[in-house]
Structure 1
Amino acid sequence: MSTFAHDLSTRLAGHTSFWDYLGQLQGAGAARTLAKPLSDAPTLELEKLHKLLYCASVFAQTEKDELKRLAQTIVLNTLLLHEDGELRERSLDVLTELGNFPGLSHAERTYGVGDQSLLGRINRKVAQALNTVPINGLPVALTDYQKQVWDSLPTSRALAISAPTSAGKSYVVIEHLCQQAERHSKFAAVYIAPTRALLSEVHQKIQLRLNNRDDIRVSTVPSLDPLQRTCQIFVLTQERLQVLLSIWNGAFDVVVVDEAQNLSDQARGMILQDCLQTVISRRSTTQLVLLAPGATGLLEVVRAIGVEALRPEFTGVSPVLQNRIIVGKVKGRPKEMRLQLLRGPNERVEIGNLVSTLGLDNKSTRLAAAALELGCGGGSLAYETGPREAEKTALQLMNELRRRHPNPQDKSLLDLSAFIRQHIHPEYQLAAMVVHGVAYHYGRMPSLLREAIESSFKQPQAGLQYLVCTTTLAQGINLPARNVFIDTPKRGRGVNLDPALLWNFAGRAGRLSQDVVGNVFLVDYDEWDSRPLDEFVPFEVTSAITTTLSEQFDRVIEAVQGDMPAVRPWDGEVTQIRACAGLLIAKAAAGLSESFLAAVLPAERLTSKLEIMEAAVAAAQRIGLPASLLHANWTIDPYGLRRLYNRLLEKIDAGDLDEILPMNPREAPEGLYQSIFMRILREVDQQQGKFGALVAGLALQWMRGVPYPVILKYWVKRARAAEERKAQEAAKTGSRSKKPKTVDALIREAFDLIEEVVRFRFVQLGKAYRDLLIFALQEKGLQHRVPEVYDFALALELGVSTETGTAFVELGLSRIAASALEDLFPDSSMTAAEARQALRTLDVTANELSPVIVAELDRLGLRELAAE
């Protein structure tokens, strides 16, 4: 690109007056986006605006992200403020030069085309045509960045795609994946998502995109295809991928890692890195695609997994304008707030003061008050530090909206409320909230409930208007909004958020192709103990294995030698140490210590390489389990695995095989899983007590596909009985009994136990138990009993235990929908293909399915042939 344009841009941006004019424009544009007009909003003279538009036209011709961002800021604010045809046309020309065609199309639909000349029209059409590619058979105009990524995908063996949240990264990657599957008779790919929420979203997109290709398997289930199709795309978490790699020796053509910054995420980052290393080692031509919202350090990390060259496709330019607006209460004026546009450290633009209809003196309700005053012009996300806090803020919002409109009649929200009462719990307060357009959202919610909330929030009209979220939303879920509200840089119990994570959450402001602007309102920003949003902070990606060996070397060595720290689920550091030690021992058992340590050992510990190798080899020899078994289960204490294996051998030798053999939970005798769970905890984690029995009771209901209302009713009843016993004991001693927990608190407690213990910890422990039992049966000459060993770890993960239920989950349906649907068909052994066909002919009206379940079927394209 022109050196002249770059040099001129540097001179223009070096003038103080440029920044003064830009500040006035930004302030005026931000004021225009507010739901309520300001009497003292900033203005900008027309002459100054023309000068800024000239600067924008020059900046757009450079290659620097910062200059392009400035150009886009100028023209988008101009579009917000002015209806003049000439100004609009100049702005649209710059958007064309920038290659922001989704923004251009939205601007033309919303603001008009301007005073367009024939030459201008031709130039725009030609530029747009150059960026247009076939997406699912239809022409779609991409942004310059998307087009750049699109062109790189077919030719790059390893690609790092890093861009702001709203840049449309996954959109083009998913299309690339689907087109590759369509073009080849033999193809295997995996899309790795860090959370079940993102996994579900991606699976829905791929499933719908390939809906007419029954010959291509699309699955979230880590299992072999019973139909033996030669084309398959898996959408898995790293834990599910670890399971798949342990039972399947095949190779992938393409591997996509979404939210690749999670390579730094303690034990889960280790799992991800180890899975990628295994995948790359199986085929040298496997394409690796890493997606991140803005990250550094990816090249160094992928070298540790065997990838030397990584093509970077980075941009810092978001295709939408994102205003960071500081909201502060004016002292001495209980209903007045001061609004400032944050442009950088110590750089602010006054927008003006807004007189609120609500009092702002109560700090604990100020986030809700600000959202009600400033967020009523479009969908609004509010950040909260945890699930309980999210529920509290959502309740504040509902109370005010209910006071204003006591009898709302949005049918979609009434249907959502009815679904929650029917399929979650009749007393769950969320059912009352959603009627008033308010909900909360956190990761441990049932997937269909979470997706139903997201779908309602995405509706262009009506639906949910306010959504209070935790950091789960920062893990890549596509849920943009016009407004985002944040009043703290903390998470959980006062722990500082990674600034990059906060930027990722803030990036939800602004909807590509639906808007040109989004606002991030920073409530009481000057009272925060840090200023993480003053300037952009990228994720610094490091190997979680390398970091652990650097920071916890002595404790890792102690763990390798047998002194494993006690399990504390809330202590990520302990989990990290245990996992790192297990991985080192597994690599030693496979004879891979030297090459593995050469890739992951931090520089300051290179002299300790021999010490680590000797300790790990000695440990593997003492443990004496097969290398394949240790590698498939290295997140579990390997010494604990040996203790459990010894106990299983004792039970087999004593003739007690039936006591240790897991069965289908629908057929299991009373007490079988209670004893299995307690045995696992006692031998692996050396935990005594009845916690295993408590979890087993919940897990049995979960595996059997028991609906949430039944599970939660049981859980609430059990908790109430325990509270009553404690109250009686307190009365006898004259002490004060604890206040009973609310139904919502008990439901949240059950969700936590299901997601964190049943569906995570015991899935890992259950898989290890099954692997050890199969090995023990083989060692004892009882191979004929191996087929009887039920895969209860998979049932724990999915929440279903029939082949039909599993088939519904493989098609992308949530556990709630799968559980409801499997009761409608007399065949409990349908394959995924048979299940798909059954759904295509399902009469949803006659079967009285909830509109929310019907909507899920529609999102997945599973009932387009339904006869009703």
Structure 2
Amino acid sequence: MSSFALELSQRFIGNDKYWTLLAGLQLAGVAKTLAKAPETEDVSNDDLAKLLYCAEVFVQTEDETLHRQAQEIAIQSLLVTEDGLARERALGLLGELGNFPSLKFAEQHIGKGDDTLLGLVNRRISERANSVQFGNETRALTAYQLRVWKSLPAKAAQVITAPTSAGKSFLVLEHICRQAESREHFTAVYVTPTRALLSEVQSKLHARFGGQADIRISAIPSLDQLERPKQIFVLTQERLSSLLSVAPDDLSFDVVVVDEAQNIADDARGMILQDCLERIAQRSSATKVILLAPGAEGMPAVARSFGVTELVPLSTRLSPVQQNRIVLSKVKGKHFELNIALMGRDGVRMPMGNIRVERSLENKASRLANVAVELGGNDGSLLYETGAREAEKTAALLTSLLKSKSGELKSASLEELSTFIQEHIHPEYQLASMVRQGVAYHYGRMPSLLREAIETSFKQDEGGVKYLVCTTTLAQGVNLPARNVFIDTPTRGAGKPLDPALLWNFAGRAGRLNHDIVGNVFLLNYEEWDTKPMDQFVPFRVKPALAETLVNDGAAVTQALLDGALPAEQIGKPETFRIRACAGLLVAHAARKDLRPYLARVLPTSDGTVFDDLVGAAESAYASIGLPDDILAENWTIDPFGLRRLYDYLVTKIGEGAVKELIPVPPADAPTGHYEKIFGRMVELVTGKSMKFGMLAAPLALWWMKGMPYPVMLKLWADRRKRTEERKAAAAKEEGKDPPKPKTINQHIYEAFSLIEDVVRFQFVQLGKAYRDVLLLALRATGKEALVPDVYPFALALELGVSTEAGTAYVELGLSRIAAAALEALAPLGETLSAAGARQLLTDLDPTKTTLSPIVLSELRRLGLVDETRFAPATEA
């Protein structure tokens, strides 16, 4: 049958009449999903019947391209017809395709067809065959999900590549959980590229296990003090690198999951990820590796680069929801008219017509917000912006437009979110007023609980945020789909081209699996873009960053190692970051005594001269630096020559009797200026940057480590920056110049968020670990070993934003820093609070008698940390 069906299908799609009928159905179906649509022709029952027959033939083949067409015919038919027979056939197609989530949604929210007993029985049997029990819930999976689910128990390494909405990470998390439950001993790590995704995954795991005493779930790169038999780490690649540096050699992993695995091509961070995976593979050949990507090519070669020679692919391009790409253009000479066209096969534009809008589209800067308000309707809308500041500006414009159009919203949920922002971020933060209007922005530098509160509000069916302006952070795996996605540029930052695959990944947020059957991707000004990346699907073409650097910049790496000086980091020259990381990694492998076999595996060239030059330069640098192997091997992300400069400086200062000022102390005990000098010294000696830069961020870093609440910290920071502005203004006035325009409180908050995420929690964390390692070495070398226990491990405090035992215990439970700070007052005075003790305190907490914010309480509930049944009011008999 499959062979005949394929032959018949080819005849159908080779007929122009088929494409004409399909175009008519597509245009009519899309028009039904728009808040404001041009007039379109109805699809006759006869034409619809012909298309449904074609689709019924398509599903009998094994061709995924034909399956995509069959699914589109089914979904668009459900949108345009109320004919019972046609609906029954469309629903039957979804069942044949194994798309039971969309089938179930359509039956509940669009309508059932003229049920036939045979059709109903076939659907229910197929649905039961595709269903899996997850806890107390029986969930019908898509055909692809079922294939992945059945394949996961296999021992072989796997790469799972599918569209964003395919539901792949959910399955992998459940697989890990079941492995943990069924084994006596189990260790796994789930690697995420961003803290936003880390927080989401950790929350799901905590909620899934509900505080089982024998399972540790941790986003902290530290060993388990209770030595529980089962532990699941959720870490970024930097945190995983830190864990591997402190873990004993016999710590191996049963399962390693790498989410957004295409990021192994991401410059220096990609090299960190690759190095971690290599080290894990060396610890045990039995470790199972699972790579997740939203659509990527080249993953087998990537796996070979870290020692996995056989990789089983589980891939699909079939999204379970229909995603329409819609081209929007301002009509020339008509400021209030918008042309709409649907993008069809091979990028062909299918005109739908014009609509009139309420506001002029002449101003290109406000066009994105104007169009989103016109076409967003009552459904959730994501708007892509090129950066965090741009996201804030567009959100402010949306807020103004919506207020003038509909007046102020009245929503208890949004009011609650606004109050949380005022109390836990800053009373004057602009986002507090925006969310009252159902508008927010979202980017990686925001505090995690704030970001999660916005995401939760956006996912609400009613009464939540409807417009969310996002950066590329959302393309890094965070589960936040919407009915509408608006994009008006293929660039990021200051006009840099955006990887087309990343743009497709962002567009993949259109359509909510289990909550919708369709999503719209609106491409604004698309015909004016320099490129047309959305005409045809573009997968991630993944090449390991290390190999690419060796091939393209190998000579520069060799020269830097021979010169004993790495190139200064320059934002406009990303190759400087790659060269620095690559040089440090080669020195690390020289210290690990495996440089030649390592290069032989990762260098994709047979040029013996290049190979020998790199080996010679790295071994020469290693010998000249002269630091212990473990220092160089575990701190390779730091300039190895800078580490030597730091060591020489520390030895000199210790010899001068200044050892006390070198030793980091607990933040709460730090005298004035103590950490300012340490951070300034780290930055100047190790990175070569000005000491002033280190001292600029130092106060913020100290407040952060102390666990200071955001409102207090941000007020101190804004006051400090305002004093600096006043000094500069006075100096400018003396010189007869115009003083610079003072920054707003929102600009100060953004600056603080940026420094915390980019400097304090990234650069300073890596520098802080290296500083401590080198200081311990210097103390031992100068006969000051008795002072070693006094050296506070401040890198972890920088990463977490807490330094007390109570704060760390709450973070260990998966709570955000905001929640941990709010809960610290619950810890008994004078007692050490462990994670287990913190969990018991929260179990005993009566939510009805607390002043905690509803958002904090919501986080506690989501993680299963409060037992509200103990305090539920008694019901009358």
TM-score range, shorter chain: over 0.9
- What are the ranges of 5 or more consecutive residues in structure 2 without an aligned counterpart? 872-877
- Residue 470 (structure 1) aligns with: 471
- Residue 796 (structure 2) aligns with: 794
Choose 194-203 or 680-689, whichever is displaced more.
680-689
- Structure 1 residues 213-238: Cα deviation after superposition (integer angstroms, max 9, x where no partner): 22100010000111110100000000
Displacement after TM superposition at 1:605 (Å): 4.2
- Residue 164 (structure 2) aligns with: 165
- Structure 1 residues 235-263: Cα deviation after superposition (integer angstroms, max 9, x where no partner): 00000000000111300000000000000
Which secondary structure state, in structure 2, belongs to the residue aligned with residue 234 of structure 1?
A: strand
Choose 308-317 or 847-856, whichever is displaced more.
847-856
Amino acid of the structure 1 residue aligned with 2:77: T
The aligned runs of 1:174-193 (5 Å cut-off) are 174-193=173-192
Q: CA separation in 2, counterparts of 1:572 and 1:820?
A: 40
- Residue 108 (structure 2) aligns with: 109
Displacement after TM superposition at 1:653 (Å): 3.0
- Residue 23 (structure 2) aligns with: 23
Displacement after TM superposition at 1:600 (Å): 1.2
1:861 aligns with 2:842: no
1:592 aligns with 2:603: no
Choose 481-490 or 559-568, whichever is displaced more.
559-568
- What are the ranges of 5 or more consecutive residues in structure 1 without an aligned counterpart? none
The aligned runs of 1:605-616 (5 Å cut-off) are 605-616=607-618
Indicate if the aligned counterparts of 1:841 and 1:866 stay in contact, CA closer than 8 A: no
- Residue 353 (structure 1) aligns with: 354
- Residue 504 (structure 2) aligns with: 503
- Residue 281 (structure 1) aligns with: 282
Which secondary structure state, in structure 2, belongs to the residue aligned with residue 823 of structure 1?
A: helix
Against the structure 1 CA distance between its residues 778 and 62, is the aligned structure 2 distance closer, same or farther, given a 3 Å change threshold? farther
1:664 aligns with 2:650: no
Which secondary structure state, in structure 2, belongs to the residue aligned with residue 552 of structure 1?
A: helix
Against the structure 1 CA distance between its residues 851 and 605, is the aligned structure 2 distance closer, same or farther, given a 3 Å change threshold? farther
- Residue 442 (structure 1) aligns with: 443
Amino acid of the structure 1 residue aligned with 2:859: E
Q: CA separation in 2, counterparts of 1:168 and 1:473?
A: 16
TM-score, normalised to structure 2, is 0.97
- Residue 6 (structure 1) aligns with: 6
Q: CA separation in 2, counterparts of 1:280 and 1:343?
A: 45
- Residue 54 (structure 2) aligns with: 55
Q: CA separation in 1, counterparts of 2:863 and 2:21?
A: 49
Q: CA separation in 2, counterparts of 1:66 and 1:495?
A: 33
Which secondary structure state, in structure 2, belongs to the residue aligned with residue 463 of structure 1?
A: coil
Q: CA separation in 1, counterparts of 2:608 and 2:182?
A: 47
Q: CA separation in 2, counterparts of 1:693 and 1:457?
A: 39
Displacement after TM superposition at 1:192 (Å): 0.2
Q: CA separation in 2, counterparts of 1:326 and 1:374?
A: 13
Indicate if the aligned counterparts of 2:384 and 2:487 stay in contact, CA closer than 8 A: yes
1:73 aligns with 2:76: no
1:572 aligns with 2:574: yes
Amino acid of the structure 2 residue aligned with 1:667: D
Indicate if the aligned counterparts of 2:827 and 2:833 stay in contact, CA closer than 8 A: no
Choose 841-850 or 854-863, whichever is displaced more.
841-850
Which secondary structure state, in structure 2, belongs to the residue aligned with residue 232 of structure 1?
A: strand
Indicate if the aligned counterparts of 2:27 and 2:352 stay in contact, CA closer than 8 A: yes
Q: CA separation in 2, counterparts of 1:861 and 1:349?
A: 50
Displacement after TM superposition at 1:570 (Å): 6.3
Tell me how large the CA RMSD over aligned residues is: 1.5
Choose 722-731 or 550-559, whichever is displaced more.
722-731
Q: CA separation in 1, counterparts of 2:322 and 2:14?
A: 22
Which secondary structure state, in structure 2, belongs to the residue aligned with residue 603 of structure 1?
A: coil
Indicate if the aligned counterparts of 2:211 and 2:864 stay in contact, CA closer than 8 A: no
Q: CA separation in 2, counterparts of 1:607 and 1:138?
A: 61
Against the structure 1 CA distance between its residues 846 and 486, is the aligned structure 2 distance closer, same or farther, given a 3 Å change threshold? same
Which secondary structure state, in structure 1, belongs to the residue aligned with residue 216 of structure 2?
A: strand
Indicate if the aligned counterparts of 1:550 and 1:604 stay in contact, CA closer than 8 A: no
Indicate if the aligned counterparts of 2:667 and 2:702 stay in contact, CA closer than 8 A: yes
Indicate if the aligned counterparts of 1:484 and 1:520 stay in contact, CA closer than 8 A: yes
Q: CA separation in 2, counterparts of 1:648 and 1:726?
A: 35
The aligned runs of 1:158-557 (5 Å cut-off) are 158-249=157-248, 250-557=251-558
Displacement after TM superposition at 1:568 (Å): 3.6
Amino acid of the structure 1 residue aligned with 2:206: Q
Displacement after TM superposition at 1:677 (Å): 1.0
- Residue 651 (structure 2) aligns with: 649
Structure 1 residue ranges (4+ consecutive) displaced by more than 6 angstroms after TM superposition: none
Amino acid of the structure 2 residue aligned with 1:8: L
Q: CA separation in 1, counterparts of 2:828 and 2:41?
A: 68
Indicate if the aligned counterparts of 2:439 and 2:467 stay in contact, CA closer than 8 A: yes
Displacement after TM superposition at 1:359 (Å): 2.2
Displacement after TM superposition at 1:405 (Å): 3.6
Q: CA separation in 2, counterparts of 1:50 and 1:626?
A: 76
Query: How many residues are treated as equivalent by the alignment?
Result: 867
Displacement after TM superposition at 1:357 (Å): 2.1
Report the identity percentage.
55
- Structure 1 residues 681-724: Cα deviation after superposition (integer angstroms, max 9, x where no partner): 22212333422222211111000001111111111112211222
- Residue 144 (structure 1) aligns with: 143
Displacement after TM superposition at 1:626 (Å): 2.1
- Structure 1 residues 589-610: Cα deviation after superposition (integer angstroms, max 9, x where no partner): 1111111101111226444212
TM-score, normalised to structure 1, is 0.98
Choose 22-31 or 733-742, whichever is displaced more.
733-742
Against the structure 1 CA distance between its residues 845 and 650, is the aligned structure 2 distance closer, same or farther, given a 3 Å change threshold? farther
Q: CA separation in 1, counterparts of 2:786 and 2:513?
A: 58
Q: CA separation in 2, counterparts of 1:370 and 1:690?
A: 45
- Residue 704 (structure 1) aligns with: 706
Displacement after TM superposition at 1:90 (Å): 0.5
Against the structure 1 CA distance between its residues 339 and 569, is the aligned structure 2 distance closer, same or farther, given a 3 Å change threshold? closer
- Residue 635 (structure 1) aligns with: 637
The aligned runs of 1:110-129 (5 Å cut-off) are 110-129=109-128
Q: CA separation in 2, counterparts of 1:728 and 1:312?
A: 65
- Residue 582 (structure 1) aligns with: 584
Which secondary structure state, in structure 2, belongs to the residue aligned with residue 440 of structure 1?
A: strand
- Structure 1 residues 127-163: Cα deviation after superposition (integer angstroms, max 9, x where no partner): 1111111212432111110111111110142000000
Q: CA separation in 2, counterparts of 1:777 and 1:735?
A: 51
- Residue 875 (structure 2) aligns with: none
Displacement after TM superposition at 1:623 (Å): 1.1
Indicate if the aligned counterparts of 2:162 and 2:168 stay in contact, CA closer than 8 A: yes
Which of 760, 763, 766 is matched with 2:765 structurally?
Answer: 763
Which secondary structure state, in structure 2, belongs to the residue aligned with residue 223 of structure 1?
A: coil
Q: CA separation in 2, counterparts of 1:191 and 1:97?
A: 34
Which secondary structure state, in structure 2, belongs to the residue aligned with residue 190 of structure 1?
A: strand
Against the structure 1 CA distance between its residues 522 and 42, is the aligned structure 2 distance closer, same or farther, given a 3 Å change threshold? farther
Indicate if the aligned counterparts of 2:2 and 2:62 stay in contact, CA closer than 8 A: no
- Structure 1 residues 308-365: Cα deviation after superposition (integer angstroms, max 9, x where no partner): 1000001000000000001111223222211100124451212222122222222111
- Residue 874 (structure 2) aligns with: none
- Residue 36 (structure 2) aligns with: 36
Which secondary structure state, in structure 1, belongs to the residue aligned with residue 351 of structure 2?
A: strand
Indicate if the aligned counterparts of 2:378 and 2:466 stay in contact, CA closer than 8 A: no
Against the structure 1 CA distance between its residues 447 and 866, is the aligned structure 2 distance closer, same or farther, given a 3 Å change threshold? farther
Displacement after TM superposition at 1:788 (Å): 2.0
